[in-house]
A and B are shown apart, each in its own frame.
Chain A
């Protein structure tokens, strides 16, 4: 082709860039009344990148020991220029990230975006959700403040409910029988090495699969198109869709720095292992619905139930035969709405009337 630089050609002969560009130019996204939900995944990706960048920056000063962790975060917050901003952005973006991951998951679920041939995309996404929760759980402890210490104590305690390997799992997570500095160091390792490693692989698979399949159109829209009630409308990914994505990212960035500047993320007081636990210790908000449930049912049963629910959630696409055949499946819609309502209601109760 004319006008191409020698550098481009050099790379093109080795990496077949032409083909990638051709693919990009041809890539489209369906456009219909539910299209808004297509932007959520991109938002998750953006927030994840914010987490990676701010996380690496925090690593420059953070010290993962019981003696120094709190002080080092305090140092970041008060002495390092813009340290307050970096840490607050990391904290706010983390919470937004988890929130958007949940929204992403439920929107995909309700639009049956997991149906054939996208089952693996769903499975990788489900695992990514667990990884995200793991990030949240491990990261929460790292500033080594009292609230995080207590929440981690309660949270890791549920590990003993796992049959056969409970005790082992507990010690594996805590690095000993109790939550101590050893736990902190371990969680640090999970948070900055183990989880990012797994996450990168899963995320790559997730994104590549999405590129291979394109966005899924909901069954209802497909039906409407089939019956002629609606017309198939596609918009080019590049640049029309990408610009829309960018608009969302820009606004999210604005929100995060607004929150971070006006309400810098508080550090609390340093963890004191000897202090008695205050009543109503609560885990991070995204665990509250599970925590609250375990107050009403026998703990072992509850933990078992969540484990089963988690596994079912992963293999869901393989159970929804109707959707896979392109038919509407109201039962699965009801299940999804019920799960969503359950999470919302129990989270709400956990904050309003936590009980004992």
Chain B
């Protein structure tokens, strides 16, 4: 009987430790899960595309919007602090899905693949693209420029 008492205590101890470890193994994923991942607006409806001052007038920038690129342009002569000076579109060309870029010499959005030109309303000026680029809504919050896919 004398041996049984330490054995009983050992089982209790080990069982307690095991349950404790199991608790940690369960709570760790949960704790990690609760904190959302960084650098991403929840889902893909809006994203911080740039900071104020990052773009000079007549300059464009490609940003990641969900899994696809978007393009943010500060229009020539535009005030960097005003949302209306910016224009944002999907950067996926409507022709064959290449990524478009901003051409400061032409003041146009341009697709290098097949020489498609778009104006700063996203409309096709020339080249093969069949449709306009879809426009995104731009808003300024603090010093960040947010782009949202919701209807403007």
A interface residues, Cβ below 8 angstroms from B: 53, 57, 60-61, 63, 68, 71-72, 75, 79-83, 85-86, 250
Closest 7 CB pairs of A and B: A82-B29, A81-B32, A82-B33, A79-B37, A71-B43, A82-B32, A72-B43
Tell me which of A82, A85, A250 has the highest count of chain B C-beta atoms within 10 A of its own C-beta: A82
A53 and B34 alpha carbons, distance in the complex (Å) = 12
Other-chain residue from A53, A57, A80 in contact with B36 (beta carbon distance below 8 A) = A80
Q: Contact between B36 and A85 (Cβ–Cβ < 8 Å)? A: no
B45 CB–A CB distance under 8 Å: yes
* Residues of chain B with a CB closer than 8 A to A72's CB: 42-43
* Residues of chain B with a CB closer than 8 A to A83's CB: 33
B121 CB–A CB distance under 8 Å: no
A57 and B66 alpha carbons, distance in the complex (Å) = 23
Q: Contact between A57 and B33 (Cβ–Cβ < 8 Å)? A: yes
Other-chain residue from B22, B32, B42 in contact with A75 (beta carbon distance below 8 A) = B42
Q: Could you list 23 A-B pairs, sorted by A, with CB under 8 Å? A: A57-B30, A57-B33, A57-B34, A60-B33, A60-B34, A61-B36, A63-B43, A71-B44, A75-B43, A79-B40, A80-B33, A81-B29, A81-B32, A81-B35, A81-B37, A82-B29, A82-B30, A82-B32, A82-B33, A83-B33, A85-B33, A86-B30, A86-B33
* Residues of chain B with a CB closer than 8 A to A57's CB: 30, 33-34
B interface residues, Cβ below 8 angstroms from A: 22, 29-30, 32-37, 40, 42-45, 66
List 10 other contacts, CB 8 Å, given A53-B30, A75-B43, A86-B29: A57-B30, A61-B36, A61-B42, A68-B43, A71-B66, A80-B33, A81-B32, A81-B33, A82-B33, A83-B33
> Which residue on A lies nearest to B44, using beta carbons?
A71
* Residues of chain B with a CB closer than 8 A to A250's CB: 22
